[in-house]
Amino acid sequence: MAGNRGNSIEIARSYMDSLYVEGRIVGSVHPTTEFTLFGKRFRTPVMTGALSHLNRIHPDGVPEMARGAALAGACAQIGMGDVAELERAVSMGDGVIKVIKPYKNTDAILSRIEAAEKAGALAVGMDLEHAVNTDDDKDSVVVDQQMELKSIEQIRELVQFTHLPFIVKGALSVQDAVRCRDLGVKGLILSHHNSLLKWAVPPVALLSGIRKAVGSDLILIVDGGIEDGTDAYKALALGADAVSVGRPLMGPLGEKGAEGVQQVIEQMTDGLKAMMVRTGVADLKHMDPTVIWQSVQLVQKT
Ligand SMILES: Cc1cc2nc3c(=O)[nH]c(=O)nc-3n(C[C@H](O)[C@H](O)[C@H](O)COP(=O)(O)O)c2cc1C
């Protein structure tokens, strides 16, 4: 592909920046950002993204990130890693979702699901978007591990294998959402995983259609390019239950460890509250999409 055309990170950024917010200060009250996910209460809907290989930037990388989330009262997603790291991250976090790669080796998947259950993870999931390459249709190899495109039947078996809520990362359409719901999936992380899918419809733009199609049956988490509390606010106003933040946490993790992660999540949560109070939203259940105005309408072709 010539140059950087179709870069979904840039497309999502410009879409987010095309969204404006009307003010509803009259009668507004100080808001709360508390929310409950799979029966567990958190102080904020800002969660850490499913990151991996963070020991390049901090000696206890992923577990330290989970500890930072816990300090901020946030849920932590964790990405690729071995069982020992998973166990440590779950014990250092306070509400951890393990996102498992679509390994070709089924035992690699099942052993991680079992370890997540035993360690007390909140949920497990799979980043289906990483099963294939970006520039051809071959199954991908991620850090020397062979991945595999998963069939509907394989996904169903995984959902049924675990007693934990199962989340699918990488779903980016109403069709995927409905399929997941029908398979018993409990949540989606709407993600193009740093442009693995080129020309992706911005995850935030998909929210209202997916919400209409699946109602409250699925938890919807928006991932990718959430840079501050105003981005988080827009996603939540448009129907997300939570937002996922990855790359913006990496620098602070490297510099200050868990406290750096805590600081960023708390700053984003403050920014979210600032938007809520100025738009008359007292809590996350009362987020209202009609506060959002769009300078450019994105229309689905029929
Ligand atoms: C260093 C790094 C490692 C990542 N590892 C994983 C992973 O193991 N599993 C996964 O599902 N996503 C992984 N991701 C993707 C993130 O979870 C997320 O989808 C992506 O970075 C977009 O979010 P962001 O814009 O907030 O960073 C990784 C991203 C980065 C930057």
In this predicted structure, the answer to whether residue 23 has a pLDDT above a threshold of 60 is yes
Residue nearest to atom 2 of ligand 1 (CA): 51
Spatial separation of the C-alpha atoms in residues 151 and 158, rounded to whole Å: 11
Q: In 3D, which of 284, 242, 245 has the Cα closest to residue 267?
A: 245
Task: Provide the pLDDT for residue 3.
Answer: 66
Mean pLDDT of 114-126: 98
Residue found by looking up tokens 């600032």 in the block = 274
Residue 58 or 3, more confident: 58
pLDDT band at 223 (very low <50, low <70, confident <90, very high): very high
Instruction: Output the residue whose Cα is nearest ligand 1's atom 19.
Output: 193
Q: How far is the CA of 302 from the centre of ligand 1 (A)?
A: 32
Closest ligand 1 atom to Cα of 101: 9
Cα–Cα distances in angstroms (integers) from residue 301 to residues 7, 11, 205, 298, in the given order: 20, 18, 14, 10
Average pLDDT over residues 190-217: 96
Residue 115 and residue 279: Cα distance in Å, rounded?
43
Dist. CA 51 → ligand 1 center (Å)? 5
Helix, strand, coil share of the chain (percent; to 5): 40, 20, 40
Q: Report pLDDT for 302.
A: 73
Mean pLDDT (whole number) for 225-241: 98
CA distance 229 to 78: 21
Which atom of ligand 1 sits closest to the CA of residue 54? 1
Ligand 1 nearest-atom number relative to CA 79: 8
49 Cα nearest atom in ligand 1: 17
* Atom number, ligand 1, closest to the C-alpha of residue 247: 27
In the prediction, which pLDDT does 217 show? 86
Ramachandran angles phi, psi of 171, nearest 5°: -65, 135
Orientation of helix 229-237 relative to helix 258-278, angle to 10°: 60
Q: Whose CA is closest to atom 9 on ligand 1?
A: 79
Average pLDDT score over the chain: 96
Q: How many CB atoms are closer than 10 A to CB 273?
A: 18
Residue 1's pLDDT is what? Answer: 47
Provide mean pLDDT across the span 110-115.
98
Nearest atom in ligand 1 to 169's CA: 11
Give tens-digit pLDDT for 123-148. 999 999 999 999 999 999 999 999 99
Atom 23 in ligand 1: residue holding the nearest Cα: 224
CA distance 294 to 189: 23
The distance from CA 72 to its chain's CA centroid, rounded to whole angstroms, is 17
User: Which residue has its alpha carbon closest to ligand 1 atom 31?
Assistant: 247
The tokens for 288 are 């209202």
Q: Is the pLDDT of residue 2 over 60?
A: no
Residue 301 pLDDT greater than 50, yes or no: yes
| HSE-CB for 91 with a 13 A CA cutoff | 9
For residue 246, the CA-to-ligand 1 centroid distance in Å is 6
What is the chain's alpha carbon radius of gyration, rounded to the nearest angstrom?
A: 18
Candidate of 77, 193, 197 to mutate for ligand 1, largest count of ligand atoms within 8 Å of Cβ: 193
Ligand 1 pocket residues where CB is under 6 Å: 49-53, 79-80, 99, 127, 169, 191, 193-194, 223-226, 245-247
- In order of start, what are the domains of the chain with their CATH numbers? 8-294 (3.20.20.70)
For the residues 189-208, what does the mean pLDDT come to? 97
Distance CA 207, CA 60 (A): 35
Return d(Cα 192, Cα 200) in angstroms, integer.
7
Encode pLDDT of 262-300 as tens digits. Answer: 999 999 999 999 999 999 999 999 999 999 999 876 677
Q: 32-66 pLDDT, tens per residue? A: 999 999 999 999 999 999 999 999 999 999 999 99
Residues 6+ apart with CB under 8 A from 236: 45, 242, 243, 272, 284, 287
Confidence of residue 177 (pLDDT cuts 50, 70, 90): very high
Rounded distance from Cα 52 to ligand 1 centre (Å)? 7
Answer with the residue of higher pLDDT: 2 or 224. 224
**Ligand 1, pocket-test mutation among 10, 16, 51, most atoms within 8 A of CB:** 51
* CA atoms within 13 A of residue 90's CA, in its CB half-sphere: 23
217 sits in which H/E element: none
Q: Which residues pair with 243 in a beta bridge?
A: 46, 222
Percent of the chain scored above 70 by pLDDT?
98
- At residue 299, the pLDDT reads 74
Average pLDDT over residues 159-164: 98
